[in-house]
Structure 1
């Protein structure tokens, strides 16, 4: 939407607007754009991976600890973008004991890390430490996107450690988009399946992983008009409104903070999952063990966005047919991949759905 220019001297209006915007922008420092600012305490560090415990914001109502795991493509700060649009803060206000596993900033030194390492080493070590700190034998896992795939694999391989599994915007059947009625869903799936396997190897061999800038360009090309207009239309529309401008800048900061995806794990992600669809076929192997989704016996809550063009809803819905638990629930919400977490429309519904589901099984 373009800015509404009042009748009369449009030039004077824009001049005043840009003057005010210039003063506002000159007063904003990088530290003012504070993403991921909800208070938390470092509990454990293993290589670059860190385990945090969030500071409670109210009396604890859900006793079972909840461990949040984001994916390697992007940063967990999307779930804690700002105070009034933060899944993390909203869940804390519902009385959850919330923990976070932060993958840090991988680079070429993580070239040889595999999904096996992230699931059977880092997540397992985090779960063990949470259990030791809280005295619980089992905890709940909350996975987002690729992190949801990791936590699903963990729940299948270590069912004795998982009391509940909450997934959000998580791909399970990476080929289910072929049956999706919405033609704008699944562009990423189609593109990834079209990649030559040798080219994937060359990319990883040259850079040591998937560069964050490369993945940013891929996501930008999926919504070309949005990418072309956000700086010359959206930004101008909010540039003299401090609250709206800070919202815009926080989102841009999160988008720019895209780490490289570790090399061998990237090969598994692109070839084994996106191209070969091994997870639902029962052929995905981690640490010498086949990931059998029927071994997921803990209760499952599966949340997805109906307008998600990155992870089509059909790819998430497929989980129902493969898990071994009968306590399976779904929540479908309006919005897109990122909008599910930052949109004011979905924020309340997402938090309420998760907290009520957890409370009923605590």
Structure 2
């Protein structure tokens, strides 16, 4: 009923806001004054634009601008009366509520952020873009089509409701099943245990770099985000650049795997995979790559290996992966002691946390894009959204085991044990500054899961050579952005081992934008730290024979 969000946490923030606002008469007077000023601004806006439209027919000059990422009122139809007045009044109301929920003395910072966030979510439900008679695009389509757009939208709503009740997925997803429409790069499963399958991909040439690449994806999602369609597959691109690639495919856990721990993912995942790779490609160091939660796990494994004197890693690359969780962005609004206790209760009952209970928080983080814009397009304009590979992948959800998820939230998010030196492996502290392999770090500008300034904090924790890339796009699209993808750009700069620290704002201001994909720069970086080309290794080995063709069995588990 709550989408996995703790009602206690929200209630606590509301009481914190309401009580401290009641005790702040000065703040209340400021809000009354602001409301009066906004009414005058709106009245002046209406008067000036009535004059302009009557004199020369020119468009209005805005009373208040939409936030940079708010695309709801970009259509030119919103600039014509009365819709211009309606949407400007809404933006002024949004501005007022921002002031009403921030800057209140005595509130805890987290509750202030949560109150402001909640007010935005509530306002978004009554946005004029969501109400047919107030949305000029919808009214125009309805008049032009004689209401057929609403009839189509009703059909879409009924189809979605039926799928929701049946627990099914859109039939179009079948075109993007792993091994059918996506995850098509040829390879073989060469290892399987209770938690992972390890896929070795086939080379495309007669020569490869001697150092293999091991990719550790997140287990909150399925691995083939990195092997989507042939034109945007990172795996296929790496193979084309002459690298031997191994990919971990995580099992989709059920209630029987409820006691799998976070360290089990390191032991049975990263370390087991390294052992297999070392047997198939002996006497070679490994380029290790981690994405999202897989990157956090890889950083822990790399630091533990460094402390133990294990030198098997040639380089470590982390994509949209946090190692310091002090400022994890708006996602932290849904992670508190109350929230984790709430999730623990859910997971204890079920054994896992399923996708629907995770979806609530992620949809609220981008409700304008994931909820309301879809409502308008799908139900009011009657325009179905064509299925594509990334959307289908996003619907192919996974579960998280009880013990692992609880440990992850408490130790990393709530206590920040990894960054502060309290996280332990085999009773030894994990210290990221002990990693001596060169590191390549990628962050994305609009990431709601791992904000780029949070990812950047690895500069404070690691002493090794570190190359940092900031690319446009979000948590997924910014990573899956190969050569030829239109509109891509990035910034890149390197810091020498034990080099001077630069604040993220300074780094951003002094590092120039470059057009195109960051993939070639990363491939060159790997190549510079690899040996001369040699014959490709065999598929599997005597100890680890080929088991199945890629994409394997685990990725197909529902």
TM over 0.5: yes
CA shift for structure 1 position 60: 4.4
In the TM superposition, residue 153 of structure 1 has moved relative to its aligned partner by 0.8
Q: Which residue of 1 aligns with 2:437?
A: 298
Of residues 336, 341, 345 in structure 2, which corresponds to 1:193?
336
CA distance in 2, matches of 1:64, 1:239: 48
Backbone CA RMSD of aligned residues:
3.1
When the two structures are superposed, what TM-score results if normalisation uses the length of structure 2? 0.56
Q: How does 1:1-362 map to 2 (within 5 A)?
A: 10=145, 30-32=174-176, 34-58=181-205, 60-159=207-306, 160-177=311-328, 186-193=329-336, 195-229=338-372, 231-232=374-375, 245-247=386-388, 250-325=389-464, 327-343=465-481, 344=485, 345-346=487-488, 349-362=517-530
Residues 267-324 of structure 1 show CA distances to partners (whole Å, capped at 9, x for unaligned) of 1111100110011001011332221112211110011102111111121111122124
Gap change, CA 1:165 and 1:10, over 3 Å in 2: same
The count of residues paired between Structure 1 and Structure 2 equals 342
Tell me, in whole angstroms, the C-alpha distance in 2 between the residues paired with 1:196 and 1:225. Answer: 24
Instruction: Give 1:56 shift.
Output: 2.2
Return closer, same or farther for 1:211/1:32 CA change in 2, 3 Å cut-off: closer
SS of the residue aligned with 1:228?
A: helix
Structure 2 SS opposite 1:176: coil
CA distance in 1, matches of 2:409, 2:460: 23
Contact 1:44/1:52 (8 A) holds in 2: yes
Cα shift at 1:191: 1.8
Any gaps of 5 or more consecutive residues in structure 2?
1-71, 76-136, 157-169, 490-515, 531-558
Give the distance between the partners of 1:252 and 1:32, measured in 2 at CA: 9
Q: Distance in 2 between matches of 1:57 and 1:277?
A: 43
User: Residues of 2 paired with 1:322 and 1:276: CA distance?
Assistant: 16
CA distance in 2: counterparts of 1:76 and 1:235, whole angstroms: 29
Mean Cα displacement is larger for which, 350-359 or 297-306?
Answer: 350-359
Q: Is the 8 A contact 1:238 1:245 kept in 2?
A: no
Q: Is the 8 A contact 1:331 1:353 kept in 2?
A: no
Q: Kindly state the Cα deviation for residue 86 of structure 1 after the two structures are TM-superposed.
A: 1.9
| TM-score (norm. length: structure 1) | 0.84
CA distance in 2, matches of 1:92, 1:350: 16
Q: Per-residue deviation at 1:110?
A: 1.4
8 Å CA contact retained: 1:116, 1:287: no
Higher strand fraction (1 or 2): 1
State the shift of 1:338 in Å. Answer: 1.3
Secondary structure (helix, strand or coil) at the match of 2:244 reads: strand
**Is 295-304 or 228-237 further displaced after alignment?**
228-237
Q: Which residue is equivalent to 1:182?
A: none
In 2, Cα distance between the equivalents of 1:332 and 1:316?
10
> What is the aligned partner in structure 1 of residue 68 from structure 2?
none
Instruction: Give the C-alpha shift of residue 356 in structure 1.
Output: 1.1
Answer yes or no: is the 8 Å Cα contact 1:155–1:161 preserved in 2. no
Task: Identify if the C-alpha distance between structure 1 residues 117 and 63 changes in structure 2 by more than 3 Å, giving closer, same or farther.
Answer: same
Alpha-carbon distance in structure 2 between the residues aligned to 1:36 and 1:233: 32
Return closer, same or farther for 1:128/1:27 CA change in 2, 3 Å cut-off: closer
Give 1:121 shift: 2.9
SS at match of 2:448: coil
- Say which is worse superposed, 128-137 or 163-172, in terms of deviation: 128-137
Q: Which structure has the bigger radius of gyration? A: 2
Q: Deviations over 1:36-95 (max 9, x none)?
A: 222221000011410001122345453310111111211112222222222222222222
Query: Which stretch has the larger CA shift, 220-229 or 52-61?
Result: 52-61
Deviates more, 1:110-119 or 1:86-95: 86-95
